[in-house]
């Protein structure tokens, strides 16, 4: 009897240590250890991140195996994040994956983190139907903002991307100006639900083609807040919900305008989203609306497959296993890694 392979995925590119087990496109376990050490610093401290990965990786992988109700010896291949990400963090996942692959004498599979965010849409329970090629994906995370045309699993073309800050950074940096914790994205999402998105308006950048820019928005908001706080020291506290709603609307308007331009230019109406910012409730809603307004079919992955996770690494592992795309032990970690 043919038994489909069981694959372990390991993700350690930034500040989450994650492991997942997949079989037949179905996630058997998906474990994430969030690193709390960074909260006091308003951002990820790379050296602390790699140390925490070292502490977390064995317990996280053990837990993933336990929750999947399998034995270590049943794993048929190990997939890990090669890049992009923080070098020290990536090296922990890379060396752990190599060691385990050697010890179990099973194939090693390298994974591009940005491809993985996109291909998370193919996990069995990620969304009800799966995208058909070619489709467009708006990938929005803490480090990247891209519109990608996906012609096949491993044939992707970046149509546009940010020339400065990523969308997630726009949430996190403006959130910092508002005195919110890190990461600010999920906090802004919650507070925005109570606010008026039309209360404040901020000018949008003019950028060529399908590229994005978010650094000007951050500066505009900084000057706006300085001016208002001079008049009323309680301005931020008194208007926090409206500020969050208005900032969130501006960031999403910028994203949607370019995505719609990409739909018009390519004629592709299969639209997916991916990456941490796609956890945002407003952007999920706005993407869904494309079905009615632009005759699109949309793919919005389940919440747990949007922010960094190892299920997305495991699905790529499974797809690469089917295509026999294995890596040898000379594979290195790369902090910048294009699609
Ligand atoms: O994909 P991800 O988990 O890590 C990277 O690869 O960067 O994305 C993290 C980013 C952070 O900037 C965080 O603020 C943002 O995703 N994020 C959100 C939400 N949840 C996470 N932004 C807006 N609304 C959310 N609900
Ligand atoms: Zn990510």
Ligand 1 atom nearest to 307, measured from its CA: 3
Pocket probe for ligand 1: among 174, 185, 282, the residue whose CB has the most ligand atoms within 8 Å is 185
What size, in residues, is the chain?
339
Q: What are the start-end ranges of the H helices in 27-151? A: 46-67, 87-104, 113-119
Tell the residue nearest (CA) to atom 10 of ligand 1.
Answer: 142
Cα distances from 170 to residues 125, 139, 162, 165, 194, in angstroms, run 30, 14, 11, 7, 20
The pTM is what? 0.95
Q: What is the C-alpha separation between 11 and 84, in angstroms, rounded?
A: 11
Could you tell me where the DSSP H helices lie in 68-135?
87-104, 113-119
Cite the beta strand spans of the chain per DSSP E. Answer: 6-11, 16-23, 26-34, 77-83, 108-112, 135-140, 145-152, 155-161, 270-274, 297-299
Which of the ligands is closest to the CA of residue 275? 1
Distance 335 CA to ligand 2 centre (A): 13
Angstrom CA distances, 252 to 138, 172, 261, 265, stand at 11, 14, 14, 20
Q: Read off the pLDDT of residues 61-112 as tens digits, 9 standing for 90 and up.
A: 999 999 999 999 999 999 999 999 999 999 999 999 999 999 999 999 999 9
pLDDT of the residue at 2: 65
Q: What residue's CA is closest to ligand 1, atom 7?
A: 142
The conformation of residue 25, written as its DSSP 8-state character, comes to: T
Q: What is the pLDDT of residue 78?
A: 98
- Gap from CA of 301 to ligand 1 centroid (Å): 14
Q: Residue 114's closest CA among 258, 312, 270, 284?
A: 312
pLDDT attached to residue 36: 83
Cα separation, 205 vs 184, in Å, equals 22
pLDDT of res. 40: 78
Per-residue pLDDT, 39: 79
pLDDT beneath 70: ranges in the chain = 1-2
Distance 256 CA to ligand 2 centre (A): 20
Which of the ligands is closest to the CA of residue 170? 1
Which residues' Cβ are closer than 6 Å to ligand 1?
A: 14, 141-143, 168, 171-172, 183-186, 189, 275-277, 279-280, 307-308
Question: In this structure, are strands 135-140 and 145-152 parallel, antiparallel, or unpaired?
Answer: antiparallel
Q: Give residue 128's pLDDT.
A: 86
Ligand approaching nearest to the C-alpha of 191:
1
Let me know: does 81 contact 97? Beta carbons within 8 Å.
no
Rg (the chain; Cα; Å)? 20
Q: How far is the CA of 275 from the centre of ligand 2 (A)?
A: 6
Collapsed DSSP state (helix, strand, coil) of residue 40 = helix
Residue 210: which region, alpha, beta or left (left: phi > 0; alpha: psi -120 to 50)? alpha
Which residues fall within 8 angstroms of residue 232, CB to CB, at 6 or more apart? 238
Check if the beta carbon of residue 310 is closer than 8 Å to that of residue 34. no
Which has the closest alpha carbon to 308: 25, 63, 114?
114
Rounded distance from Cα 239 to ligand 2 centre (Å)? 31
């Amino acid at each position: 009897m043919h038994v489909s392979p069981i694959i372990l995925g390991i993700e350690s590119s930034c500040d989450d240590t994650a492991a997942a087990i997949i079989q037949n496109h179905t996630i058997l376990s998906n474990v994430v250890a969030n690193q709390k050490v960074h909260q006091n610093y308003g951002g990820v401290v790379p050296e602390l991140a790699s140390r925490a990965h070292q502490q977390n990786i064995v317990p996280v992988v053990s837990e993933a195996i336990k929750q999947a109700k399998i034995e270590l010896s049943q794993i048929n291949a190990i997939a890990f994040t090669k890049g992009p990400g923080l070098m020290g963090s990536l090296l922990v996942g890379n060396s752990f994956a190599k060691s385990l692959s050697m010890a179990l004498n099973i194939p090693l599979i390298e994974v591009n983190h940005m491809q993985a965010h996109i291909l998370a849409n193919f996990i069995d329970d990620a969304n009800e139907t799966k995208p058909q090629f070619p489709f467009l994906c708006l990938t929005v995370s803490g480090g990247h903002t891209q519109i990608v045309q996906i012609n096949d699993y491993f044939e992707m073309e970046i149509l546009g991307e940010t020339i400065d800050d990523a969308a997630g950074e726009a949430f996190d940096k403006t959130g910092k100006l508002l005195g919110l914790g890190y990461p600010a994205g999920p906090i802004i999402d919650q507070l925005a639900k109570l606010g008026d998105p039309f209360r404040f308006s901020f000018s949008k950048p003019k950028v060529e083609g399908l590229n994005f820019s978010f650094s000007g928005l951050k500066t505009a908001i900084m000057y706006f807040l300085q001016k208002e706080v001079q008049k009323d020291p309680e301005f931020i506290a008194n208007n926090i919900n409206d500020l969050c709603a208005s900032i969130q609307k501006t960031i999403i308007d910028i994203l949607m305008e370019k995505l719609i331009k990409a739909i018009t230019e390519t004629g592709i109406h299969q639209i997916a989203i991916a990456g941490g910012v796609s956890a945002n409730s407003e952007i999920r809603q706005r993407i869904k609306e494309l079905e009615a307004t632009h005759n699109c079919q949309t793919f919005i992955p389940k919440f747990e497959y949007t922010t960094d996770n190892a299920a997305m690494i495991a699905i790529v592992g499974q797809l690469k296993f089917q295509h026999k795309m294995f890596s040898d032990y000379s594979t290195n970690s790369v902090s910048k890694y294009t699609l």
